[in-house]
Amino acid sequence: ALVCAWTMCALIFFDDYSSLLIVGNSLQPALPALNVAPERFAFLVHVMAVGLASLSPVSSWVGLQIGYVADVYKQLGLPDDPFVSTMRTIPYRFFPVLLLALLPILLISRRELGPMANLQAPVTSSTAAAILSEEAAPTVWVNGVALTESWTESHELQSEPAEAPSAGPLTPKPGTKLRVVNALLPFGTIIFATFAGMLLDGAVKILGMPVEAR
């Protein structure tokens, strides 16, 4: 799951918000079934989204930085190219560079650093069934469900069924047919609109420049 998230974030390198929206909303519901801690997933997605956007020459963040540098050069009357100056700062951005280099190492070695090494994935029905093995303790049957005696002693049994979790804004309504186009259409629109906005903004800036400076 984390390798898949890393790959998807690498493909959506041009905007951090688009990467968080697309990758986060796509894979977050599957984290419990894949035994992935939400904190690990959030760390990977945020590092990839923000790190790549801050280093890629074609991204919303770098475009904003170039605009700031161009404004300063204009105020100081410097003839230097703001794009070239911004690109020369990339090797000195140690924080995103080192974090992006660290992620593949952690994924390949399957190791974690600091407090993240002690994180546990949310318990699902499958993992709970594995924990409640037949050899652990005598089995107690409650409403047709087999529980161990040690589990029943440490948990208060509820006579009423637990309420179903409330549906989120992106949760499909019951009975809705799940189709691939429902995900590809909004995500594709975001990607297209982002690139179109970057090209349009660049074209407007170029047309506003003197002819000899284009």
Q: Is there a single domain that holds both residue 15 and residue 114?
A: yes
For 131, the 3-state DSSP assignment is: helix
Query: The domain containing residue 144 runs over which residues?
Result: 123-157
100 phi and psi, to 5 degrees? -65, -35
Please report the pLDDT score of residue 128 as a whole number: 44
Among residues 100, 119, 138, the one where a domain terminates is 119
The full DSSP string for 101-126 is HHHHHHHHHT---GGGGG--PPP-HH
Residue 177 domain flag = no
Q: Is residue 172 part of a domain?
A: no
Last residue of a domain, one of 119, 147, 182: 119
| Residue type, position 113, single letter | L
Does pLDDT of 135 surpass 50?
A: no
The phi, psi pair for 140, rounded to 5°, reads -120, 130
- Alpha-carbon distance of 59 to 87, in angstroms, equals 12
Residues 7 and 113 reside in one and the same domain: yes
101 and 59 both lie in a single domain: yes
In a domain, 192, yes or no: no
Task: Indicate the pTM of the whole model.
Answer: 0.58
Mean per-residue pLDDT, 88-99: 90
Asked if residues 28 and 35 have their Cβ atoms less than 8 Å apart, the reply is no
Q: Give the CA-trace dihedral at 99, 101, 107, 110, to 10 degrees.
A: -80
Q: Clarify whether residues 105 and 148 are in a common domain.
A: no
Helix (H) or strand (E) holding 141: strand 139-142
**Mean pLDDT to the nearest integer, 116-122:** 66
User: How many domains does the chain fold into?
Assistant: 2
Look over the chain and give the mean of its residue pLDDT values, rounded to a whole number: 74
Residue 120, pLDDT > 80, answer: no
pLDDT in tens, 19-43: 888 888 778 777 777 777 888 888 8
Alpha-carbon gap, residue 191 to 196, rounded angstroms: 9
75/153 same-domain check: no
Shared-domain flag, residues 34 and 135: no
